[in-house]
Amino acid sequence: MRALLDAHPNIRCGEETRVIPNLLQIVHNWESGPYHQKLLENAGVTHDVLRDAAGAFVFEVIAKHGDWAPRLCNKDPLTFEHLPFLREIFPRARFVLMIRDGRAIVHSIISRKVPVVGFDWRKTVDCLKAWNKMIEKVPRQMPYTVTRASFQMYKDCKCLGPDVCLPVRYETLILRPEGELRRITAFLGESWSDNLLYHEKFVGSEIRLHPLEFSTSQVKKALNDDALHSWRIFYSDDVLSQMDTAAPMLRTLGYNTTTSDPSYKSMSEL
């Protein structure tokens, strides 16, 4: 997604910063627990102070780790765990949540040995459970004025409303790229650009790729459906039989778990 958006003449995302989700988690930890929070407030370090300081940090990193553009964006894994806080920091921002079949994600993590906290490559079912926990994660007590029930990535996105957060299916983006990309640019308030359909032509110029990012080898290619199907012979019958209990969010998000060869052609919008 970020490589596609980087091909747009008005948008610059750039590589993963890695520090932004770390900073957001640190702020969350500072404000977790009434005792620690009271200590901070008594010292004048209120939520508003931390919000403004975190906002300044995040903005400076996003703005200065690449070339300037009329619209700046960030793609760091797990920043969506802090979506309500990000919305508070950047009230005019727009958010795009990429939803993908968890079976494909787990296959990708295990087969490429991507280091993700909570994912043990040797234990496939545990990895599926870890994905499920991540997508429906409810963090510890947080100081924002949103109920705890909404602190799940997908529900957070829906809670903010269609004008603020747009869920996008990876599978639909791959199968119907122009339609989905037009929907995304309209949501962002940007004009259409054919560059989005040929992002691979801009790799190395408008699109910078980090050689150490695990996705680099894939995103520099033209859009293709290879990754839609590669997981289908990966899981054993035993693991497939546990899919609904290990990863119930698959069904919640509309994925067919009754077969190892599902069709993605007629999936509903999220």
| Bridge partners, residue 165, by sequence | 95
Structure tokens at 55: 């906002």
Nearest to 106 by CA among 224, 215, 234, 212: 234
Give the tens place of pLDDT for each residue, 111-166. 988 888 789 999 999 999 999 988 776 444 333 333 232 237 888 899 999 999 99
Q: How far apart are CA 29 and CA 40, in angstroms?
A: 12
- CATH 3.40.50.300 for domain 2-252, yes or no, is yes
Query: pLDDT tens, 36-79?
Result: 889 999 999 999 999 999 999 999 999 999 899 999 999 987 89
User: Does residue 16 have an active-site annotation?
Assistant: yes
Per-residue b or e along 66-97, where b marks 16 or more CB atoms closer than 10 Å to that residue's CB: eeebeebbbbbebbbbbbbbbbbbeeeebbbb
From the list 15, 16, 81, 206, the catalytic residue is: 16
Tell me the two tokens of residue 92.
């005019």
pLDDT digits (tens, 9 = 90+) for 169-201: 999 999 999 999 999 999 999 999 999 988 777
The pLDDT score that the predictor gives to residue 214 is 47
Q: How far apart are CA 217 and CA 221, in angstroms?
A: 7
Beta bridge partners of 72: 12
